[in-house]
């Protein structure tokens, strides 16, 4: 990665940058409810998120040139890399996600908590792919790309890796769950944030490995729930994670163990 030649960052700018973009996206999507009255509120909100992402993509190069002092922002963020290196990193991330999900599925099947159904419609498959690419790219660009870079410039290399994982965890809606389940999910999200950061470091700064790992977990778990396996209505929270009928394994023992294993394997990239 290119080393910044100068930095004019301030904490207040880092804290306000994304909320301002999100607010602009939210405001710009409100008229859509009048233009398309058949749209549900969540569809209008999704349109606002899309606009916010577009604003992020448009303004990031300007911000990195102005505040980070870099001449090649997309290379600095790990997006523009050699095609072969990016593809290999992406596939490695996908394989790690598949391995983590396979471990969860095997335990569920062997314990009798789940049954294999193997049913997935074309629409569900496309939705899983959209989640893989969309969520994986957007969140990794935001957290392991922009935010992590700003935190390194503001607080130093060692402190930044923990801070980015903490911010990543806190912005997710873990607080909507009962207290014990909320804490379990929060811990899992921190572990995921650390594992994704170490993945990027192991890939020599390329963002595509963490995109494959993150997106593979999100899209893969959606596909499993959509019809590949059956899940009990009251799966053990301690094992599979909180969420009731739609559990999130990141917050359960299986998710913790898998992510902790990834962190241990990649521990030499912590420094």
Looking at the fold, whether 178 and 246 belong to one and the same domain comes out as yes
Looking at the fold, whether 35 and 108 belong to one and the same domain comes out as no
Looking at the fold, whether 114 and 7 belong to one and the same domain comes out as no
Averaged pLDDT for residues 122-129:
95
Lowest-pLDDT range of 72-81, 201-210, 232-241: 232-241
Both structure tokens of 152: 């390194």
Averaged pLDDT for residues 125-130:
95
Looking at the fold, whether 93 and 169 belong to one and the same domain comes out as yes
Element spanning 138, H or E? helix 122-140
pLDDT at 245: 78
Looking at the fold, whether 89 and 126 belong to one and the same domain comes out as yes
Domain boundary among 76, 111, 140: 76
pLDDT at 16 over 80: yes
Q: What sign results for the dihedral spanned by CA atoms 239, 138, 157, 203?
A: positive
Q: Is residue 168 exposed (0-12), middle (13-18) or buried (19+ Cβ within 10 Å)?
A: buried
C-alpha span between 63 and 68 (Å, rounded): 7
pLDDT at 189 over 90: yes
Looking at the fold, whether 33 and 141 belong to one and the same domain comes out as no
Q: What is the DSSP letter of 250?
A: G
pLDDT at 236: 83
pLDDT at 3 over 70: no
Domain that holds residue 124: 82-269
Cβ neighbours of residue 220 closer than 8 Å, sequence gap 6 or more:
97, 98, 101, 128, 132
Looking at the fold, whether 110 and 146 belong to one and the same domain comes out as yes
- According to DSSP H, which parts of 30-121 are helical? 32-35, 41-63, 73-76, 83-110
Looking at the fold, whether 237 and 130 belong to one and the same domain comes out as yes
C-alpha span between 223 and 214 (Å, rounded): 14
pLDDT per position as a tens digit, 132-188 = 999 999 999 999 999 999 999 998 888 999 999 999 999 999 999 999 999 999 999
- Which of 222, 234, 218 is CA-nearest to residue 172? 218
Domain boundary among 76, 97, 129: 76
Domain boundary among 58, 76, 94: 76
| Structural domain total, the chain | 2
Averaged pLDDT for residues 24-28:
92
Looking at the fold, whether 38 and 93 belong to one and the same domain comes out as no
pLDDT above 70 covers a percentage of the chain that reads: 97
Beta bridge partners of 230: 115
pLDDT at 244: 79
DSSP string, 102-117: HHHHHHHHHTTS-EE-
- Which of 66, 27, 265 is CA-nearest to residue 153? 66
pLDDT at 32: 87
Q: Is residue 12 exposed (0-12), middle (13-18) or buried (19+ Cβ within 10 Å)?
A: exposed
Looking at the fold, whether 39 and 105 belong to one and the same domain comes out as no
Q: Residues 61, 145: contact at Cβ < 8 Å?
A: no
- Which of 150, 183, 143 is CA-nearest to residue 67? 150
Q: Residues 187, 259: contact at Cβ < 8 Å?
A: no
Looking at the fold, whether 9 and 105 belong to one and the same domain comes out as no
pLDDT at 4: 54
More confident residue, 227 or 196: 196
pLDDT at 191: 97
pLDDT at 9: 83
pLDDT at 164: 97
Looking at the fold, whether 2 and 136 belong to one and the same domain comes out as no
pTM summary value: 0.93
């Amino acid at each position: 990665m290119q080393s910044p030649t100068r930095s004019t960052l301030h904490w207040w700018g880092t804290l306000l940058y994304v909320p301002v973009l999100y607010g602009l996206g939210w405001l710009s999507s409100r008229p859509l409810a009048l233009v398309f009255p058949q749209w549900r509120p969540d569809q209008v909100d999704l349109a606002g998120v899309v606009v916010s992402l577009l604003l992020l993509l448009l303004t990031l190069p300007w911000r990195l040139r102005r505040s980070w002092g870099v001449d090649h922002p997309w290379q600095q963020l790990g997006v523009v890399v050699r095609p072969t290196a990016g593809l290999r990193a992406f596939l490695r991330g996908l394989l790690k996600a598949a391995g983590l999900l396979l471990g969860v599925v095997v335990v569920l099947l062997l314990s009798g908590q789940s049954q294999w159904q193997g049913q997935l419609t074309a629409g569900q498959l496309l939705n899983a792919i959209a989640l893989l690419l969309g969520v994986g790219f957007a969140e990794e660009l935001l957290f392991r790309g922009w935010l992590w870079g700003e935190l390194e410039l503001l607080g130093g290399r060692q402190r930044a890796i923990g801070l980015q994982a903490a911010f990543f965890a806190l912005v997710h809606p873990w607080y909507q769950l009962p207290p014990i389940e909320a804490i379990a999910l929060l811990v899992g999200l921190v572990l995921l944030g650390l594992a994704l950061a170490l993945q990027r470091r192991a890939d020599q700064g390329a963002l595509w490995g963490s995109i494959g790992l993150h997106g593979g977990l999100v899209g893969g778990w959606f596909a499993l729930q959509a019809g590949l396996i059956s899940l009990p209505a009251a799966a053990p929270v301690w094992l599979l994670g909180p969420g009731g009928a739609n559990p999130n394994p990141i917050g359960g023992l299986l998710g913790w163990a898998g992510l902790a294993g990834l962190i241990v394997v990649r521990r030499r990239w912590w420094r």
